[in-house]
Structure 1
C-alpha cells in the first residue's frame, strides 16, 4: 500500500510538471525554446504514465492482500464500489490513450489534427484524477496542510495554463483583430498568407518565431506555422505547404477570414546570436523562419551565408533579392548533397559563425552531426525542429 501511495504522489507531481511545461510561460519558453520544452514534456509524460500505472498495480495488490480477496474480485470492488475510483479509472484510460498516440510510430501514422484532439483529453484526465485525489487521497483525507498544498499546486499549474494558453491569446486577439488580407500562390502546393490587424507593432513577435494559428471557418484546428517575413508592424506573414488536410484547406482560404493566433513562441531568434558572422541553413518548408531571420540579419548588415536545400525552392527569389541588397551569399541546392560536403565546400569559415538550422528531422540531424565534426561550438548552434509536433 505504501508503495502504491508513493508512486501516486510522484505521478501527481509529474502531472503538475507536465502542466507547467505545456503552459508555455513566455519567460520560460523564450529562455529554453520550444524544442527543449517539447522534449522535456515528452520525456516527463512517459514517466507520468509509468508512475500512475505502477500506482494502480500496487494499490490493487495492496488492497487485495489486505482484504484477502482474489485480484479480479478486488479490481471490481475498487472500480465500482469505492468512491470516485471509477472516474480515476476513466482518467487512467485517457492518459494511456494519450501516451499510445504520442509514441513516434503512432504519430507518424496519424493526422496532426487527430493527434491534437486526442492530446487535449489529457486535460480532462488531469481534472478527473484530481477529483479522485480530493475524495480519497491520503493527503486530502488526513491533513489540512496536505489539502492546502495540493490545491495550491494544482491551482497554480492550471492557472498558468489558463492564463498563458487562453487568457493572453484571447486578450491579444480582441486587441489586434487579425484577418487574412491577401493570399499569394508561390507554387502548385504552397501559398503565402498575409495577415493584417490593429496595433501589430505592439505584438511581441520576432523573426524566427511561430504562432499557433486558427482560422474562423475551421476554428477547432490549430496549426503551428512560423512567420515567413520579419514582423514590421503592419502585417504578419506565413507560408504554408499542403502537407495534410488542414494545410491543404488553407490553400483556398479567402481574404477577410478572421484569424486567431496563440503566441509568439520559439527561441529561434537573433537574440541567440553570439557573433556577427552567421550561417543560415534551410531545408524544404523549413525555409520560412530562415527567410525571416535573413531579413533581420540583413538590416543589421551582418556577414551572412545562406544554404537553402529543396527540390522546389519557394521564396528563393525573395531571398536572392535580400541577399543582393545586403551582400549575403545565398546557395540554393536542389540536387543530392551530403551535409558535411555541402557545408565544408560552401562555408569554409563555419567555425567562426553562429549557425541557424531549420528543416526536416533528417537534414537537421545531419547538419548537427556535421557541425560537431567540424568543431563548431554548441553555443553557436541554433536549431528549430520542423516535424509532426505541437
Structure 2
C-alpha cells in the first residue's frame, strides 16, 4: 500500500459544511439541575433544623451531598458522548467542564462528610473521634457511603497533575472506572438513609429517574451505539507504516468511512481489538482527510499504548468513536495561515493543511523536531505557490537559540500578525508558540492550538 496521499478538496468541502455550531443550552440545563436540587433540599428540610448549630451544619452537609450526587451525574453525561451535549458545546470544552466538575464533586463530598460529622457530634454531644464509630454502629447503611467516599477521593487524586505524570493512561483509566461503584454506593446510601427521600416518595422517584436516565444515556451512547457502529463499519488495520523515530502511521479500512464526516485536525477515540489494546480507547488524530473507506492515524510513542501500535498486525479489528475536536479549517478567518507542528502533532497539522489548501488558504508550515530523523511526513508537504514548508530540526541547546521565540519566529514568518496560527505538539512547544504569536500581534481569537501528551 502506498504511504503517500493526494489532496481531496471535494471531500473536505463536504465535511466542512457539517461543522458543529455553538448552542448555549448546556449551561442553563446544568443551572436548572442545581436549582432543582436546592429546591428539593429547601422544601425537605424542617425549620427546626436551623435552631441549633449542630442541626444547621448537618443540614448544610446534606445540601453538599445532594449537590455532589447531582453534579456527578452531570459530570458523567458530559463525557457520555451524548450528541446534544457535543453539538451544543464541543468535545474539548466538555472535557474541560468534566475536569472542573470533578474537582467540585470531590470538594462537595468532603464538605458533606465533614459537616455531617461535626454537626452530628454537636447534636449527639460526642467528640469528633467518637462520633464516627458511633454513627457507623447506629446506621449500618453508612458503610457503603464511606467506601464510596474513599473511591471518589481516590479518583480525584489520580486526576491531579502530579499523579497523571506518574500514572500510565491504562492505570489512570482503571482507577477512574471505580467511580461507577462510588456513584452506585452513594445512590444506595441516599435512598436508604437520606431524610429527603425516606419521607418523600416524590423526591425518591425523581432521584431514581435522575440516576436511571444517566445510566441509560451512558449505556446508549458509550456502549450500544458504538458497538452497532463498529459492526456497520467493520474497520480493520490495513497497514502499519513507520514514519520517523517514535512515529508510526496506522491505516484503517472499512465500510462507509465517508459517512463519519471527519475533517482534517479532528481525532477519534480508537480501540484496537488486540491483546494489550482492548481495555482502553485512546484519542488519535487523523493525519489525512478521510477518502473512500480509509483512515490514517499517525501516532507518537508517548505512552505504553501508543508505543505498542507498531506491533499491530494487518487485519486487526478496530473500533472508533468520533470524530471529535475543533482544530479545524473552518476556524481560520484570514486568507493566510501559519501551521506549527512538533512531534506527533505533525499528523493533525498535515490533515489540517490539506483542508486549508482546499479552502483556498495560503500556508506556511513550520515543522519542529529534535533532529532530521524526527521530521515525519515531511515529503507530504509538497511545496507550491500556496504552501511553504519550513523544517526546523535541532534542539535549542544545539542551535544556541529558540527558533520559536518572537524574534526567530518573525524571521521565519514576517507577516505572522496577519495570519491565523494553528499549532499542535508537546505542551512546552505549544505554549511557546502561543506566547510568541501574542507578542507579535496575533489576536487571541486567531490562535488555535491542541497539545499532544501521553
- Residue pairs, 1:220-369, within 5 angstroms: 220-311=279-370, 312-319=374-381, 321=382, 323-324=383-384, 327-335=386-394, 336=396, 337-369=403-435
- Residue pairs, 1:1-390, within 5 angstroms: 1-29=58-86, 32-217=89-274, 218-311=277-370, 312-319=374-381, 321=382, 323-324=383-384, 327-335=386-394, 336=396, 337-388=403-454
Distance in 2, Cα, partners of 1:272 & 1:185: 31
| TM-score normalized by the length of structure 2 | 0.80
CA contact (8 A) 1:183 1:254 kept: yes
Distance in 1, Cα, partners of 2:90 & 2:429: 20
Aligned length: 385
CA contact (8 A) 1:339 1:363 kept: no
Distance in 2, Cα, partners of 1:174 & 1:194: 18
Distance in 2, Cα, partners of 1:208 & 1:32: 18
CA contact (8 A) 1:29 1:267 kept: no
SS across alignment from 1:98: helix
CA contact (8 A) 2:430 2:451 kept: yes
Give the equivalent residue in structure 1 for 2:55: none
Aligned-pair CA distance for 1:307? 1.2
The higher radius of gyration belongs to 2
Distance in 1, Cα, partners of 2:88 & 2:447: 15
Aligned-pair CA distance for 1:333? 0.9
Distance in 2, Cα, partners of 1:318 & 1:249: 25
Aligned-pair CA distance for 1:188? 4.3
CA contact (8 A) 2:247 2:344 kept: no
SS across alignment from 2:278: strand
CA contact (8 A) 2:148 2:183 kept: yes
What residue ranges of structure 1 are gaps of 5+ in the alignment?
Answer: none
CA contact (8 A) 2:263 2:355 kept: no
Distance in 1, Cα, partners of 2:216 & 2:290: 30
Q: Which moved more, 1:308-317 or 1:140-149?
A: 140-149
| TM-score normalized by the length of structure 1 | 0.92
Residue by residue over 1:80-135, the C-alpha shift from the partner in whole angstroms, topping out at 9 and shown as x without a partner, is 54142111111111111111111111111111111111112222211221121222
CA contact (8 A) 1:228 1:237 kept: yes
CA contact (8 A) 1:313 1:332 kept: yes
SS across alignment from 2:136: helix
Residue by residue over 1:254-277, the C-alpha shift from the partner in whole angstroms, topping out at 9 and shown as x without a partner, is 000111112221111122222332
Distance in 1, Cα, partners of 2:417 & 2:300: 33
Distance in 1, Cα, partners of 2:427 & 2:92: 12
Q: Which moved more, 1:77-86 or 1:332-341?
A: 77-86
Q: Cα RMSD between the aligned structures? A: 2.0
Q: Which moved more, 1:272-281 or 1:359-368?
A: 272-281
Give the equivalent residue in structure 1 for 2:3: none
Residues 272/127 of structure 1: CA separation in 2 closer, same or farther (3 Å cut): farther
Distance in 2, Cα, partners of 1:334 & 1:271: 30
Q: Which moved more, 1:286-295 or 1:31-40?
A: 31-40
